[in-house]
Chain A
Amino acid sequence: MARMTGAQMVLEGLQREGVEVIFGYPGGVVLPLYDTLPQYPGIRHILVRHEQGAAHMADGYARASGRMGVCLGTSGPGATNLVTGICTAWMDSVPVFALTGNVSRTLLGKDGFQEADITGITHSITKHNYLVMRPEEIPLTIREAAHICRTGRPGPVLVDIPKDVFQESAEFDWPEQVHLRGYRPTYEGHAGMIRRAAELIDQARRPIIIAGHGVIWSDAQDELVALAEKAEIPVITTFLGIGAFPEAHRLSYGWLGMHGMFYANMAADNADLVIGVGMRFDDRAMGRFKDFNPGVKIIHIDIDPAEIGKNFPTAVPIVGSAKNVLPRLTEHVREAKHTEWLQWIDQVREEHPSLHIRESRRMLPQYVVRTLYEETEGNATIVTGVGQHQMWAGQHYFYKRPRQLISSGGLGTMGFELPGAIGAQVALPDAEVWAICGDGGFQMTMQELAVVVDENLPLKIAIFNNGYLGMVRQWQQLFYDRNFVAVAMTQPDFCKIADAYGIRAIRVETKAEVAPAIREARAHKGPILIDFMIDQEENVWPMVPAGAALSETIEAPAEELAR
């Protein structure tokens, strides 16, 4: 054991937990920590331009790599600026470790300068959080927090440390093991339940698998493919489950939900058995709960017991990780063919293709995404903001692998696109990462362009510039009688903004320029921004209107197709 300052213990602990990157921003109370950073050259600190960016970067880093992402902020405003990012990670079960400084212990609770009760503020958006009052508690606290963050159902944790605790010294006593009586995730899956599930699957005539984000966290794509193939079960995913199952597979039928594929929604709604794996039956995925596929039986495989039975009654609950449960289920199910059922879905798909892009002289956003798909041969990692462009990116790019689409689903956080993509690019320095940005969302966090430059990241940034908060405009058009309020935006010249940061930029105004611009961006070694002046009034289809059931999915109206 060695004597260390609190600051050293934090960095030593993080290093032992395998942390290589911290996205952070300094301030008074974390100065002792920054002062110590040079002693830990194995930890790379990336200076963000706003703490929200730090949290999203840690999040993007975690989603792209499966590893824990770390962000750091000072007390008060630094800590509260992290909140949106922490909540984003919370809703989508992303292992983000947030570290904050707080005022010295004498001032805690006295409304000290820049004091914020960040543990209180984040109780409901972290798996757990800690206020550390003694340096000797730091090693165990870092170890426990990291353990909680990335095991079981992953999720954010926060560790708050008063300034003088960073400064005080104590013995560094690193616990080899974590011992938490109140935290024992179940990975195995109950043998009896697995057998019952297999029986239900064997009896089903129209089974369907709905695969979610949990399959990705569990790294269980191969295991999922094996089950689907053995029992010939069609697979659809949730939006966050995109990539959990290869979309080119013959059993893949896209994703379901509010903007999912028509045939995926119909398949889910007409199945006699739904096998939900690592997904939480979210309202955007399932439509109006009460009218979802009456009579369907549900098998739910999830690592979090509280997700089972939360929104739908479950015939067979299986608490465990997808990675462990799926192979055992595959062992128990009989080989089967569901020819008629697959033909039924194929027929619906033929009649309602959903992903057909109409011929048009306009620069349709769907066309831009599809061209990007073709040019990158489906290999790029795509990070999106929130809104129409997000949905098009989910629909018109076809994903092969887990972690290939990174997007804020549960919280739907605009502004995620650029910092999320930066985090992904830091995690995957050699990968081709594209940030697909809304012109609205981009402006929420565009200051992080400076990080792209500082860190010399080869990030490709595509702005889907429709001059609107497009998704909101779509809702006003459809549900508020075209009463367009507060959705049109005067945009700055994004190319000039890129230029001001020293980032190359291209503006694309016609359809013919789309492919060449993408090629130019790919050929360029460094970062590049493309401002796609897409058609302004295109809407996202299909759509399950707010409050409707999946069976009420509507497709693009004829007059829109004629545009």
Chain B
Amino acid sequence: MNPSLNGHHPRKRANYHTVVAIVEDKPGVLMRVASLFRRRGFNIESLTVGHSEMPGLSRMTIVVDGDSAPVEQVEKQLYKLIDVIKVSDLSQEDIVARELAMIKVRCNNVNRHELLDIANVFRADVVDIATNSIILQVVGDEDKIDGLIKMCEPYGIRELSRTGRIAMVRGTKTTTVHEPEPERIARIHQTQGRRVEGDLPFSSD
């Protein structure tokens, strides 16, 4: 993305797809996914990962630029990764999509009130306040966040951090995986690839 300040908003979104991947919570999974996207030339607009409702499984939300590759290829390639269990393209679904941003804006005693008014309109929270700056925290879809950023720009944005999108389908439909593993296997899968805690003997070979 263009690093200049007014680079955040003219974002083209026409062909962005929201893909949710349920993946094994194992070391290296993020690298496998990221490296797949890099190698195949699929452009990632944002990627968010965290725990899901299922123990041992993480949820990745990937916003991918559909102009860089057919989303069907992206899904199929993701499925080829052994650690990827389920992939859903939410683009055709009725979804709730949210992102969180923290914006540190320059301000002073004179214009602080204006800024607070703006924050109010966007239902942004003030999470920090100092003599020359203020941190606003806002949750919403990208348009809302872009809107707030735009309004803050004239004051001077000192720092900006956005989480990238997470999304969920409305209604009863879910992307849950209902497939518990046999206990013996689950036990090994939980540790596979993870570092061993505690002291190990030193050995140089």
B85 and A306 within 8 A (CB): no
**Known contacts A105-B196, A137-B188, A182-B81: A28-B76 contact under CB 8 Å:** no
Note all chain B residues with C-beta closer than 8 A to A127: 80, 82
Bitwise, B170-185 to A at CB < 8 A (1) or not (0) is 0000000101011011
Report, nearest first, the 4 A-B pairs whose CB atoms are least far apart. Answer: A28-B205, A306-B76, A104-B203, A182-B85
A306 and B82 within 8 A (CB): no
B76 and A305 within 8 A (CB): yes
Count of residues in A whose CB is under 8 Å from the partner chain: 43
Choose from A123, A140, A177, A183 the contact partner of B35 (Cβ within 8 Å).
A123
Task: Report if A304 contacts B (CB, 8 A).
Answer: yes
Note all chain A residues with C-beta closer than 8 A to B181: 179, 181
Which range contains the number of B residues in contact with the other chain? 35 or more
| Minimum distance in angstroms from B201 CB to a CB of chain A | 7
Once A and B bind, how many residue pairs between them come within 8 Å at the CB atom? 100
Chain A residues at the B interface, C-beta cutoff of 8 Å: 28-29, 31, 75, 103-107, 112-114, 119-120, 123-124, 127-128, 130-134, 136-137, 140-141, 148, 163-164, 173, 175, 177, 179-183, 304-306, 309-310
B201 and A106 within 8 A (CB): yes
Chain B residues at the A interface, C-beta cutoff of 8 Å: 23-24, 28, 31-32, 35-36, 39, 70, 72-73, 76-77, 79-85, 177, 179, 181-182, 184-185, 188, 191-196, 200-205
Choose from A106, A141, A181 the contact partner of B192 (Cβ within 8 Å).
A141
Q: Quick one: which of A31, A136, A305 has the most chain B CB within 10 A?
A: A305
Note all chain B residues with C-beta closer than 8 A to A164: 200-201, 203
B204 and A124 within 8 A (CB): no
A119 and B204 within 8 A (CB): no
**Known contacts A133-B194, A179-B181, A310-B73: A113-B204 contact under CB 8 Å:** yes
CA distance A102 to B35 in the complex (A): 23
B28 and A119 within 8 A (CB): yes
Q: A106-B200, A164-B200 are in contact. List 18 more A-B contacts (CB 8 A).
A: A28-B205, A31-B205, A104-B205, A124-B35, A127-B80, A130-B193, A132-B192, A133-B191, A133-B193, A133-B195, A134-B191, A137-B191, A148-B82, A163-B205, A164-B203, A182-B84, A183-B82, A309-B73
CA distance A306 to B69 in the complex (A): 13
| Minimum distance in angstroms from B185 CB to a CB of chain A | 5
Note all chain A residues with C-beta closer than 8 A to B205: 28-29, 31, 75, 103-104, 113-114, 163
